[in-house]
Structure 1
């Protein structure tokens, strides 16, 4: 069965857009994947539309050959949006290949190890602070933080992840200096920020109770000296992990060696070779793998390398429903899974865009047994919601004081 067309689609997803690859075949099978341009990756669509022409006429079975060919063609500029584009095509090919065999994608990955995957409620209550128009109820203070954590517990979730916030100026707002919100390129950590982060975590614990696992994401918002300052200030907190992004594997290893909390990292890395220095330096306790960017087949190789270094992995997943299903198949198939990220707060029209929504039970995501990813975008619904001109990180601004 050969590819006859590679198309891209996009739709309005509130504060960002959702993006999709559609691969058509001469056998009538259609393969889908979801990708992203909003997380600092403008231009992925243009690249897919260019390199996708090289895929037309090739067999859907030959995704490894296609990946290698596209890698060769783009070798002077590897990674980043190039890598994400190739990963998006790979994921759509996997969906088509599995559908042609009438099997779930996890069958192509060696079969599933588990029927359900423990998840953590990500961006809790981040979306309700940053984007209350799309994710009500709005959270503006520490009482709202506690109430959201209590909701997570009442809905059966056993883990949640949050971010860095300022609460002492009235309405809460996110601290994201690594993403120019505010624009403080030095990314220093001061006492006031530490005090606000402690207040935020204490509110989460008050609402969630003693049995909830709490994770916090520091992103790129500091340098190793600042991360250590934060970690030392939070030593008395019971944290499942602290998530840190840094381009320095050696710097991260130094931070990890001085932390009483487990460290997770690597969500922005693309390609097997990019992960290797972090494993060699024993830089993190959990490796976060973005299967949307890397491609699920390539992500299985990354997970295998992590396994060789005795490191568990966790999927990076904060996109739409299709991405959640793509990550679910990956999480079902890898032996060295720690936990899976998922967003529970969704758009009011989210379910209209997809044939299926994820099913959660007792803090776990149920692995579907439908062919392919077990979820397709609904083209009519996508086309009915034209994409925004800009979205994601490129449009986000700190609320006025």
Structure 2
């Protein structure tokens, strides 16, 4: 079986675009993957176009062979968008191999350890604050936050994750200086942010009740001093974990050693070499692995490395339905799985883009046993929603 064509497709996904990779063969089988260019990663499509030259016209390679060859050819620029392009191709190859054998991808990743995956409602209430045009009802104040906590509980979810927002300066808005929104490169944490974060968590707890696990994502929005200030300010709250992005394992280990809450991190890292220092420094309680970026095959190796260091893993998953299925096929095979991220707020046209959509029961995702990832994109539906130019990069908020 030879690969005859590698094609990329994209479509409108509201505030961003969805991106897909289609890998065709001379035997009529098609492998799919979903990737992303909207989380600080412009250029992944160009990488895919270059690397696909290693595949077209050749027999379908094994995942290990492809990764070794592609890594060797891109070694001077390993990581970043190069690694994301490799991950997209690897994931399509895995889907292709599984379909050729008429088995789910999890069968090629070691087999299922569990049939259901506990999930948490991510970006609660972020999407309704940041993008009310696509996700409603709009949340503009703390009453709306409180109502979202109650909604998560009523819909059977047992965990939710919030971000940082400002509520006392007109309608609520996201505080994301780590992504230049607003552009405050010094990343200082002032008293107003502390006060607003405390109020947000208290409102979520009021709405969600005492049995809801609340997760907090601080992203890249502070430096060591600021993270510690925020952690001290919420020390009396019951927090499942605090998510912190840092490229310094030493700094993160210092934060963890002074934190009253568990620390999760690593969602922006690539490959075992980048994860290893965080495990060696005991910098994380939970390692977040992006299967979309790393590829499921390499992500499985990262999970094993984490397990050796007594660390559990959680998939990074805030993309389309295909990515959710890809993450599920990985997570169900991992003994040291903690919990899975999922976005419950969806676009009006999300479900029509795929042959199957994720099934949730009592706050858990049911792992499908259909061949491959368990769903395929529908090309006609994708083409019916043309992509936006430049869709996805976070738009700056003017400095006040």
Please say if 1:90 is aligned against 2:118. Answer: no
Secondary structure in structure 2 of the residue aligned to 1:242:
strand
> In 1, distance between residues paired with 2:248 and 2:202?
31
1:278 is the counterpart of 2:278: yes
Counterparts in 2 of 1:34-183, with a 5 A limit? 34-183=34-183
Contact (CA 8 Å) 2:183, 2:396: kept in 1 or not?
no
Residue aligning to 2:334 = 334
Separation of aligned partners in 2, 1:138 and 1:60: 47
Tell me, yes or no, if structure 1 residue 392 matches structure 2 residue 354: no
Relative distance call for 1:156 and 1:400 in structure 2 (3 A) is farther
Aligned residue number for residue 315 of structure 1: 315
1:305-357 CA-to-partner distances (Å, cap 9, x unmatched) read: 00000000000000000000000011100000000000000000001111111
Equivalent in the alignment of 1:248 = 248
Q: CA shift at 1:61, angstroms?
A: 4.7
**Residue deviations 1:238-276, cap 9 Å, x none?**
000000001100000000000110000000001110001
Q: What secondary structure, in the 3-state scheme, does the structure 2 residue paired with 1:5 have?
A: strand
Structure 1 residues 343-362: aligned runs within 5 Å: 343-362=343-362
Alignment of 1:191-270 (within 5 A): 191-270=191-270
Larger deviation, residues 166-175 vs 49-58: 49-58
Larger mean CA deviation between 3-12 and 60-69 belongs to 60-69
SS class of match (2:48): helix
User: How far has the Cα of 1:10 moved from its partner?
Assistant: 0.4
Q: CA deviation at 1:87?
A: 0.2
Q: Do structure 1's residue 375 and structure 2's residue 375 form an aligned pair?
A: yes
Describe the SS at the equivalent of 2:381: helix
Deviations 1:355-379 (A, max 9, x none): 1110000000000010000010000
Q: Deviations over 1:118-169 (max 9, x none)?
A: 0000000100000000001100000000111111000000000010000001
* Runs of at least 5 residues in structure 2 that lack an aligned partner in the other structure: none
SS in 1 for 2:75: coil
2:35 pairs with 1:32: no
Change (3 A) 1:387 1:400: farther
Inter-partner Cα distance in structure 2 for 1:56 and 1:71? 17
Structure 1: 5+ residue stretches without partners: none
CA distance in 2: counterparts of 1:193 and 1:60, whole angstroms: 52
CA distance in 2, matches of 1:288, 1:108: 22
The answer to whether the 8 A contact 1:174-1:398 is kept is no
Equivalenced residues, count = 400
Kindly state the Cα deviation for residue 53 of structure 1 after the two structures are TM-superposed.
1.4
Q: Which runs of 4+ in 1 moved over 4 A?
A: none
RMSD: 1.0
Tell whether the 8 Å contact from 1:173 to 1:398 is kept in structure 2 after alignment.
no
Superposed CA deviations along residues 68-124 of structure 1, whole A, max 9, x for unmatched, are: 111111111110000000000000000010011000000001100000000000000
Instruction: Give the deviation of 1:228 after TM superposition.
Output: 0.5
Deviation at 1:400, TM superposition (A): 9.5
Deviation, structure 1 residue 3: 1.1
Give the 3-state SS of the residue equivalent to 2:153 in structure 1. Answer: helix
Q: State the secondary structure of the residue aligned to 1:153.
A: helix
Aligned to 1:149, what secondary structure does the other structure show?
helix
- Secondary structure at 1:187's aligned position in 2? coil
